[in-house]
Amino acid sequence: MAEDRLDRLERILEHYTEESNQRMTRLERILASFSNDVARNTVEANLRISSAEVTLDRLAELLNRSYHQSSERLDRIEEQTARNAQQIQFLRELMQGHISQSTPPAHAD
């Protein structure tokens, strides 16, 4: 009878040991799969980040170029506006009879 109990306890322990081993195997597979997913996601995220950095660099370059072009254009517009203002002033003074100069200042050169 004691041997029967020991045999029964041994079978129960073997059964639980087998179940525990199966659970551990499943957990190891889950962890391995999770680890692979994390590694793959990390690689994909790094690729997206690299792509975004390249795009940002290109946009920064375009923005910088656009800024310089706009600045140059504004400078030209300011110069033209100043010349136009001189010509308008000359014409105003000419119409009012204050000057006898026949050439506007912008064309005097």
| Per-residue model confidence as pLDDT tens digits over 33-56 | 999 999 999 999 999 999 999 999
Distance, in Å, from the CA atom of 84 to the CA atom of 21, rounded to the nearest integer, reads 92
Query: pTM (2 decimals)?
Result: 0.52
Q: What local confidence, expressed as pLDDT, does residue 107 receive?
A: 60
Q: Sign of the C-alpha dihedral, residues 37, 43, 47, 50?
A: positive
Q: How many CA atoms lie within 13 A of 103 on its CB side?
A: 5
Sequence-distant (≥ 6) Cβ neighbours of residue 38 within 8 angstroms: none
Per-residue confidence at 2, pLDDT binned at 50, 70, 90?
A: confident
Q: What local confidence, expressed as pLDDT, does residue 100 receive?
A: 59
